[in-house]
């Protein structure tokens, strides 16, 4: 039993974590450019520390990222060498509309992405494009307070319509908003939200969520009108919640936590607000302003497929005291004694991926796409400059086996698999370069020092073999450092 022949194997990056050159060719600044390295990053991401301009005390990793803006041709060449069928990437909104809502798009920005898509097509690599990956124009944060304001719908739809029209025929797979549920956990990252003291954060977050959901539906509809070949997906930060014990109240807590994420996908895939969410708004007294037309808009354009990221499962309890053993993830999660941890405290759970696929498929009955998965680890090149990342191969092998089982044994419809950070890039949560996910090593440290040269890791050759055999051969490869690892 094998994966379908047209299975889309590949990798993922995001504009703000890879491109750098943030002021080049008229690009405007965005929320994510303002996230500093170091202790303040968390508070800025939460929207609790306002940082809407650079200062001299901080280093801002997005400024350089991995210099992909200048090196994309070489990077695509390496993806092609691995045999990628698909490359997931995001567009930088402010390369195209520097202020988010300018009267005319910036031609230099459009041209940059057009060249990328043409290059990908030259290598028979299908682009999978996220329209907004943790990306809110700074000018719109200052003007409207970002997604808390309904004006954002118009700006986002105009931006999306521009790229859907310009890249018609070059791009077929689109994602509207990356990890849409992250808005609840990192409101500045997910929605450009900054809170004033005393504000009802919960109400503002769900108001912003409503605007994003309406905008996403409008764009899904537009995408189908512009080109009926387009396929549009939603994108969930996935991973299910386990109850810490079999106490019924712990199980209930796990259901409720799962619903925090499902809420978004329920709307995007089924076209209406789930009752549990409306009841919760009522119970908490959250007043979410909705236009009378909104329910029609949501119902008119459910997504074609459901995509999600998967790094780990989470463990929750109804009892405060159980959280003493918190792990390092951005979600509050209890250490699961049956799992091991990554160096950053994320719990490794391949079977959790198979279970997530089953749950999502049972719930939505739509094709699924795993668009992020991977191991963030410290890589140390040996004397020859070669990274022997057997730990990464091991992690990926187990996860690939798990989704293969979900397809071949459970009958899940799965379009493809793109690993996160197929080339080392800036970590979203910490801003570190040392948290590496790639098959390709980038010579650069946390402060942006280095040659930025690329070199192939051991996992590069392993993943090439996986793709070549359509996932049949997951065995590790025995190899000495190749004579030339540099690109
Ligand atoms: C997802 C994001 O949350 O996880 C990516 O979509 C992010 O942007 C990835 O980089 C891994 O998280 P981190 O913090 O290790 O980079």
Taking the centre of ligand 1 as the mean of its atom positions, its distance from the CA of residue 332, in whole angstroms, is 16
CB under 8 Å to 380, separation ≥6 — which residues? 387
Taking the centre of ligand 1 as the mean of its atom positions, its distance from the CA of residue 223, in whole angstroms, is 26
Residue ranges of the chain with per-residue pLDDT less than 50: 329-330
Measured distance CA(227)–CA(247) in Å, rounded? 50
Nearest to 308 by CA among 412, 427, 436: 412
Question: Contact 325/255 with Cβ under 8 angstroms?
Answer: no
Instruction: State if residue 178 touches ligand 1 by the CB under 6 angstroms criterion.
Output: yes
DSSP 178: T
Summarised one tens digit per residue, pLDDT across range 44-66 is 999 999 999 999 999 999 999 99
Measured distance CA(477)–CA(390) in Å, rounded? 9
Catalytic residue check, 57: no
Task: Please give the helix or strand (H or E) that residue 210 lies within, else none.
Answer: helix 201-226
pLDDT score at 321: 86
pLDDT score at 333: 83
Residue nearest to ligand 1 atom 4, measured at CA:
428
Question: Contact 209/264 with Cβ under 8 angstroms?
Answer: yes
- Which atom of ligand 1 is nearest to 182's Cα? 3
Per domain, the residue ranges of the chain are 8-468
Task: Please give the helix or strand (H or E) that residue 188 lies within, else none.
Answer: helix 187-191
Summarised one tens digit per residue, pLDDT across range 220-251 is 999 999 999 999 999 999 999 999 999 999 99
Nearest to 92 by CA among 167, 199, 3, 15: 15
pLDDT score at 325: 58
Catalytic residue check, 179: yes
Nearest to 392 by CA among 319, 346, 342, 357: 342
Backbone angles phi, psi at 3, to 5 degrees: -75, 155
Measured distance CA(319)–CA(251) in Å, rounded? 12
Nearest to 109 by CA among 137, 157, 69, 140: 69
Taking the centre of ligand 1 as the mean of its atom positions, its distance from the CA of residue 295, in whole angstroms, is 32
Nearest to 68 by CA among 31, 24, 6, 134: 24
Taking the centre of ligand 1 as the mean of its atom positions, its distance from the CA of residue 428, in whole angstroms, is 5
The DSSP result for 218-274, as a single string, is HHHHHHHHH-TT-EEEEEEE--PEEESSS-HHHHHHHHHHHHHHHHHHHHHHHSS--
Instruction: State if residue 135 touches ligand 1 by the CB under 6 angstroms criterion.
Output: no
Taking the centre of ligand 1 as the mean of its atom positions, its distance from the CA of residue 437, in whole angstroms, is 10
Cα-only R_g, the chain: 21
pLDDT score at 478: 83
Burial of 189 (C-beta count, 10 Å sphere; 0-12/13-18/19+): buried
- Which atom of ligand 1 is nearest to 374's Cα? 11
Can you name the CATH fold of 8-468? Answer: TIM Barrel (3.20.20)
- Which atom of ligand 1 is nearest to 421's Cα? 10
Nearest to 240 by CA among 224, 253, 221, 225: 253
Instruction: State if residue 177 touches ligand 1 by the CB under 6 angstroms criterion.
Output: no
Measured distance CA(114)–CA(268) in Å, rounded? 28
**Cα 185 from chain centroid (whole Å):** 14
- Residue in the block written with tokens 């890589």: 379
Catalytic residue among 19, 126, 179, 253: 179
pLDDT score at 479: 78
- Which atom of ligand 1 is nearest to 420's Cα? 9
Question: Contact 228/298 with Cβ under 8 angstroms?
Answer: no
Instruction: State if residue 14 touches ligand 1 by the CB under 6 angstroms criterion.
Output: yes
Instruction: State if residue 294 touches ligand 1 by the CB under 6 angstroms criterion.
Output: no
């Amino acid at each position: 039993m094998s994966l379908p022949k047209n299975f889309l194997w590949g990798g993922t990056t995001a504009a703000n974590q890879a491109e750098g050159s943030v002021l080049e060719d008229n690009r405007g600044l965005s929320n994510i450019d303002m996230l500093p390295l170091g202790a303040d990053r968390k508070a800025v991401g939460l929207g609790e520390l306002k940082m809407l301009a650079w200062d001299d005390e901080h280093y801002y990793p997005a400024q350089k990222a991995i210099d992909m803006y200048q090196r994309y041709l070489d990077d695509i060449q390496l993806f092609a060498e691995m045999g990628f069928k698909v490359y997931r990437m995001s567009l930088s909104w402010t390369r195209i509309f520097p202020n988010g809502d300018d009267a005319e798009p910036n031609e230099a920005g459009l041209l940059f992405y057009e060249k990328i898509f043409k290059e990908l097509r030259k290598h028979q690599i299908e682009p999978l494009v996220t329209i907004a990956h943790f990306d809110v124009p700074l000018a719109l944060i200052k003007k409207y307070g970002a997604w808390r304001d309904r004006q954002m719908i118009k700006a986002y739809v105009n931006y999306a319509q521009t790229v859907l029209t310009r890249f018609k025929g070059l791009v077929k797979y689109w994602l509207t908003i990356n990890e849409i549920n992250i808005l609840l956990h990192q409101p500045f990252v997910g929605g450009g939200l900054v809170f004033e003291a005393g504000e009802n954060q919960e109400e503002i977050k769900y108001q912003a969520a409503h605007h994003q959901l309406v905008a996403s539906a409008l764009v899904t509809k537009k995408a189908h009108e512009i080109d009926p070949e387009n396929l549009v997906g939603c994108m969930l930060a996935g991973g299910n919640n386990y109850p810490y014990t079999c106490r019924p109240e712990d199980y209930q807590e796990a259901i409720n936590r799962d619903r925090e994420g499902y809420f978004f996908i329920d709307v995007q895939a089924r076209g209406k607000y789930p009752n549990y969410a409306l009841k919760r708004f009522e119970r908490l007294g959250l007043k979410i302003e909705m236009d009378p037309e909104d329910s029609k808009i949501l119902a008119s354009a459910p997504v074609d497929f459901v995509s999600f990221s998967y790094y780990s499962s989470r463990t929750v309890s109804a009892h405060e005291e159980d959280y003493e053993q918190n792990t390092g993830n951005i979600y509050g999660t209890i250490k699961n004694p049956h799992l091991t941890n990554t160096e950053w405290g994320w719990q490794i759970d391949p079977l959790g991926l198979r279970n997530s696929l089953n749950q999502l498929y049972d719930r939505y009955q739509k094709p699924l796409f795993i668009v992020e998965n991977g191991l963030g680890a410290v890589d140390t090149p040996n004397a020859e400059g070669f990274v022997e990342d057997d730990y990464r191969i091991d992690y990926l092998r187990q996860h690939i086996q798990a989704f293969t089982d979900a397809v071949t044994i459970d009958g899940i419809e799965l379009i493809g698999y793109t690993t996160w950070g197929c080339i080392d890039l800036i970590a979203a949560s910490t801003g570190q370069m040392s948290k590496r996910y790639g098959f390709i090593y980038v010579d650069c440290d946390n402060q942006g020092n280095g040659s930025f040269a690329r070199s192939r890791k051991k996992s590069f050759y392993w993943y090439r073999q996986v793709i070549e055999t359509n996932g049949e051969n997951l065995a590790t490869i025995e190899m000495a450092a190749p004579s030339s690892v540099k690109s």
